[in-house]
Amino acid sequence: MHSQVHVCAVVVAHNGAAYLPETLSALAAQTRPPDFCIGVDAGSTDASASLLQLGLPVGSPVIAVPAKSGFGAAVKAGLAELPAGRRPAGNAPAGDAPSGDGPGTAQEWIWLLHDDSAPDPEALHELLLAVERAPSVTIAGAKQVEWTNERLLVDVGVSISKWAERLTLIDADELDQGQYDSRSDIFAVNSAGMLVRRDAWDLLGGFDPALPGSGDDVDLCWRNRLAGNRVVVVPAARLRHAGYRSTPATSASAARRAEIFLRLKHAPLWQVPFLAVGAVLGGIGRFFLGMLAKDPGYAVASLLTSTTAVLRPVDLYRSRRRAAASRRRPRSAVHTLRSSSRDVREHRRTQSRDSVPGTAEPAGAEYVPSGDTTDDFAALDGPDRTGAGVGALAAALLLTAFSLAGLHRLIGAPAAAGGGLLPLGQGIKDIWAAATGWWAQLGSGAPAHGDPFNYVLSLLAIAGLGNGNAAVLVLLLLALPLAGLSAWWAAGAFTANRWLRFWAAMFWASVPAFQVALGSGRLGALLVHILLPLTVLAMARAVGAGAPRRRTPPAGTASWTAAATAGLLLAAVSAAAPLVFLLAVAAVVFLTAGMRRRAKTLWWSLLPSAALLVPQVLSAAPNLRAVVSDPGMPLAFTRSEAWQQLLGYPLAFDPEGTLGGLLPDGPWPLVLALVVGAPVVLLAAVALFRQRSARLARLTWLLVLTALALNAAASYLATAAAADAMVTAFTGPLVSAAVLLLLCPALAAAGDMPSATRRRGMVRSNRVLAVALGVVLAAGPVASLGLWVVPQFTGSGFPGTQAQDSAAGILPGTQSAVRAAEDRSLPATAADAGSDATQSRSLVLHVDGEGKVSAALMRRGGTTLEQLSTIYAARGIQGGPGDERPAADDPATADLRRAVAVITAGTGVDPRADLERLGVGFVVLQESDTAAELLAGRMDSVPGLSAVGQTGSGWLWRVNGPLSDTETAAPAGIGARVRIVNADGSTAAAVPSGAESVSTSLPAGAEGRRLVLAERADAGWQATLDGRELTAVDEGWAQAFELPADGGELRVDYVSAASPWLEFLQILVFGLTLLLALPTPAGRTMHLPGKRELPEAQVPAEPQPAAGPAPRSAEHMVLVHNQSVPSGTGPQREARTPEGSQQ
């Protein structure tokens, strides 16, 4: 019957020049050659078109189609070139039932070949023999084996799961031993080597245009089955297939889209909406599974693919109509040919077992790679882990002793305060509300999102079991050992020398920038110094850097776990010092430019910080100066010169001096600064000229210059207004960052020096160098810690020392401003009134030594650290950078200033009208000196102020309302945050209130009354009465609403339209980052549906951007987990085709 069969072979190529010579040679070597050949080039950019013209038989047409046409469109275009004389007269026209089986008629068959599919010589003969034996077969396929190793199976027919997932059920690296040669009827066959009867092809309309690549063969066979025809695989017809080639049409995402589309196309109409929703939910599930498996690329692709797959209603309608036109059998007819759920589960379990890392380790591979399947931080220790651990313990104990000696006065205190530090609020709820709120609860309030640093304070409060002040005290007392341990741990990424790691711990805890932050109460800068080494360590691990455990030369493996950990640490650092985030962005950009794909994980480390800072940026706009400000009380300081910053000093000092009276005049401050900081700078400079550390040194020096430039730029941008100066962002965090960046190459260079002399055989010189280097390095921490702890321990500074930000600043902590304090700054009576339903405020006055009076409007128990707002502080500045000046008073500030002037003047003028608008119920005069006592005497005569007496927090007066002739008690509403005001302006009653919102029952009252808040007016305030929105009215600077006469449930809130969206963004980003940061247990892997599970071929890795002595330094490569690639005659494959992907 072969003489009555005409076969047209269609070869489709797309950039297949590496495969086409063998494919075309195999086509020409067929024992039963095709009757006609057609070549189709799909937009190839190589020599594929020329090879088709040269390799196909003479007279074979070769046509060109666009690259994005898809396999089905390319075949259709090729068949259009089939000459009319080549089609037998008895062939059924398109649309009729398959025929051509009668005697005397000729059948026309189409044989489809990919450019990378080379059939065996007997392949076409065996296919035709199979269809001759079974006339009901209209589609036949070949057994697929590997291109490079014919013993490895690719597929022997294709099946699907009940969810239309493409399956071959071939195990990884399964050998062809004839185990599947009994297969015949199958659900579908691969389009490579597919033999299709032309009348069936015409009836079905060929491949579905909606499936241009993956899934087209499954769909064609599916429709062929439902049309009443058979599909068989012919194991005797063998074909070598190159397997997976990375193109958009054959990617895992394309396979997932095809799977969902086929599911919707072939399901009953009533199931389509449910299946569409299920596909989206499945995409969400795969998204979280991918994040948990440390593969964000897979996670995002799965979610986008699942979503876009169901958003093709027009294509789906056309495809369903085309399928319905050819369907002759019920949909259930193909159910028996699908793979059972049990078989699918068993196959996936087998794949999962075979893909566990380490089960197929290549010969000689002894190095445990860095990455998400191992402990990302365990590989940083040197070979002698016990010795290194002893060094860490010794550093921690020694620094703890220094800390307790210097800060012993804080032990047992309720709280700490002074400098930029204030006590924290009483509970986690209050601190969290301050972090997430959009209204600054300072003075008369202002629209401002809470400082990002409040999230860090919330974590501290949680660590303190609700007592944030206790957690802050512990942090201050353990700051030195924590900083030392942080540096010790990070130093392991740059050196395995345990003595250098011990020195790094001691040095980092003695950096002057750290001691200045500790002494001036700059909690943000303190935390930055502690967390920066861990952040740098995590970022190094994210790109695969770190000292290896083994001596096998490795190549870097990027780690999403380390990148997510870096992101969480950087978020805390950025919240404490936003300028450091800009430095981190620069670091990621530089690393990406140098390392390309190896640095792709680092971009995730920026996301948590960005999500944390976005609300503050939007709230501060357009006055963005607040975004770069550091948290805490604004403190003015004198910025040091760039060379002093390189030595670790954020505050300016005079190189000439007596060193606090300890020595005669001379350059002693300069000598001390050089002893402390110069060794690190010099070693970092030496690293530039060392081959092993040069790349690391160049990167770190570039970032150091960036840090210095940021500090210089920040000095021109005021962030708050102090009493007599403009306050800029503190230089300490960036100075800490610069010193740490210098420390990294310094460690690598110092560790390489002894080994370099050993390599030259200079044993004696090696010992001398080691001793000299040890003495020089040890002198800095000894001098710095000694000069810090002595005045702290004795309780008195060195003679002649001045303010912390003056020349005495080179003696960090000599004039420490941090002291033990109470957890509230107001008297108990005023604090209780500020915490009850009236939310009364206190006007706090302070007299300095020159008799100048300063005033602050405080809430509850006094202003706490979480209540401070950088946005609120920036409101007091006007003018551009370099030309800032204090802003003019707004009406609320004018009322406050006027009330203070009246009270302190003692002229008998009544201040109660202003105090009532401000919500002031108490006046506090803090104790200071004789000037305060004189002022207290004058205040006793101020109308409306009733003396309560002297307390531990100062003198206290209560604000009383005026009494009418018929009243015997002060009217309600005096000192209340929220009042009901009558039409004549008198206060009718106080309204119970919370710290920000109001929720209470309101009785009926007179017409024309108003609800007045002692808060600045803003469009964000919203009020409702029984669900009816109240109209805002003008009440000067205060927020007011018009109240109807009837009562009801009153609700007042400050609302930001962006709040829900930004909160969702933050929850999403931090939730995903936490998923990524969770370590995967060693030796375990997670199966990702549709993800390539077999190891890829070995690829060369990029060099590592770290430095140090080989093989125990950061200058190394991390081993890529690889397998040996079978040798063969064709080009190497990247990996086997995954289940669910088109081949």
User: pLDDT tens digits, residue range 1069-1085?
Assistant: 999 999 999 887 655 66
pLDDT computed for residue 239 by the predictor: 94
Assess whether pLDDT exceeds 90 at residue 885: no
Angle at 989 between CA 987 and CA 992, to 5 degrees: 130
Residue type, 539: M
pLDDT computed for residue 205 by the predictor: 92
**CA quadruple 722, 728, 732, 738: dihedral, nearest 10:** -170
Q: Map residue 527 onto helix, strand or coil.
A: helix
- Digit-coded pLDDT (tens) for 1037-1048: 999 999 999 989
How far apart CA 37 and CA 56 sit, in angstroms, is: 7
For 448-477, what is the mean pLDDT?
Answer: 94
For 839-860, what is the mean pLDDT?
Answer: 89
For residue 989, the 8-state DSSP code is: E
Assess whether pLDDT exceeds 50 at residue 94: no
pLDDT computed for residue 496 by the predictor: 87
- Digit-coded pLDDT (tens) for 672-713: 889 999 999 999 999 999 888 889 999 999 999 999 999 999
For 757-774, what is the mean pLDDT?
Answer: 64
Residue with tokens 């072939």: 266
Residue 345 makes CB contacts below 8 A (sequence gap 6+) with none
Burial status of residue 85 (CB atoms within 10 A of its CB: 0-12, 13-18, 19 or more):
exposed
pLDDT computed for residue 665 by the predictor: 72
> Mean pLDDT lowest for which of 226-240, 272-286, 1004-1018, 1068-1082?
1068-1082
- Confidence class for position 1111, pLDDT limits 50, 70, 90: very low
- Digit-coded pLDDT (tens) for 396-435: 999 999 999 989 899 999 999 999 999 998 889 999 999 9
Assess whether pLDDT exceeds 80 at residue 941: yes
For 304-322, what is the mean pLDDT?
Answer: 91
Residue type, 533: P
pLDDT computed for residue 1124 by the predictor: 32
Q: Map residue 581 onto helix, strand or coil.
A: helix
- Confidence class for position 87, pLDDT limits 50, 70, 90: low
- Digit-coded pLDDT (tens) for 169-209: 888 788 989 889 999 999 999 999 999 999 999 999 999 99
- Digit-coded pLDDT (tens) for 595-613: 888 888 999 999 999 999 9
- Digit-coded pLDDT (tens) for 491-530: 999 988 889 999 999 999 999 999 999 999 999 999 999 9
Q: What percent of the chain has pLDDT over 90?
A: 54
For 716-720, what is the mean pLDDT?
Answer: 91
pLDDT computed for residue 211 by the predictor: 86
Assess whether pLDDT exceeds 80 at residue 762: no
- Confidence class for position 21, pLDDT limits 50, 70, 90: very high
Q: Answer with the residue of higher pLDDT: 1128 or 577.
A: 577
For 348-377, what is the mean pLDDT?
Answer: 49
Pairing label, strands 978-981, 954-959: unpaired
Assess whether pLDDT exceeds 80 at residue 49: yes
Do you find a cis peptide bond into 1111, omega within 30 degrees of 0? yes
pLDDT computed for residue 1139 by the predictor: 46
- Digit-coded pLDDT (tens) for 976-1021: 999 999 998 888 899 999 989 999 999 998 899 999 999 999 999 9
Write out the two tokens for 365. Answer: 């591979």
- State the pTM of this model: 0.82
Residue with tokens 């850097």: 545
Assess whether pLDDT exceeds 80 at residue 657: no
Residues 818 and 792 sit within 8 Å (Cβ to Cβ): no
Residue 591 neighbours by CB distance under 10 Å: 21
- The Cα-based distances of 448 to 616, 617, 634, 1012 in angstroms read 8, 10, 17, 21
Residue type, 1132: Q
- Confidence class for position 357, pLDDT limits 50, 70, 90: very low
pLDDT computed for residue 382 by the predictor: 42
For 467-472, what is the mean pLDDT?
Answer: 94
pLDDT computed for residue 1115 by the predictor: 38
How far apart CA 255 and CA 80 sit, in angstroms, is: 28
How far apart CA 912 and CA 853 sit, in angstroms, is: 19
Mean pLDDT over each residue of the chain, to the nearest integer: 83
For 352-375, what is the mean pLDDT?
Answer: 45
- Digit-coded pLDDT (tens) for 125-177: 999 999 999 999 999 999 999 998 899 999 999 999 888 888 888 887 889 89
> Mean pLDDT lowest for which of 112-116, 318-322, 557-561?
557-561
How far apart CA 1008 and CA 269 sit, in angstroms, is: 63
Pairing label, strands 920-925, 841-847: parallel
Assess whether pLDDT exceeds 50 at residue 80: yes
Residue with tokens 């002057």: 512
The sign one gets for the Cα dihedral 554, 560, 561, 562 is: positive
How far apart CA 337 and CA 387 sit, in angstroms, is: 64
pLDDT computed for residue 169 by the predictor: 85
pLDDT computed for residue 1128 by the predictor: 34
Write out the two tokens for 94. Answer: 């398109």
pLDDT computed for residue 872 by the predictor: 93
What residues form DSSP beta bridges with 417? 819
First to last CA, the chain: 32
Residue 43 neighbours by CB distance under 10 Å: 16
Residues 684 and 701 sit within 8 Å (Cβ to Cβ): yes
Write out the two tokens for 278. Answer: 């299920």
- Confidence class for position 733, pLDDT limits 50, 70, 90: very high
pLDDT computed for residue 660 by the predictor: 58
Q: What percent of the chain has pLDDT over 70?
A: 83
How far apart CA 58 and CA 60 sit, in angstroms, is: 6
For 740-763, what is the mean pLDDT?
Answer: 75
- Digit-coded pLDDT (tens) for 886-936: 888 899 999 999 999 999 988 888 999 999 999 999 999 987 777 788 888
- Confidence class for position 1092, pLDDT limits 50, 70, 90: low
If we measure between CA atoms, which residue out of 855, 851, 831 comes closest to residue 914? Answer: 855
If we measure between CA atoms, which residue out of 1016, 1006, 1067 comes closest to residue 442? Answer: 1016
pLDDT computed for residue 1098 by the predictor: 34
How far apart CA 342 and CA 1073 sit, in angstroms, is: 35
- The Cα-based distances of 688 to 706, 878, 1106, 1112 in angstroms read 17, 45, 12, 19
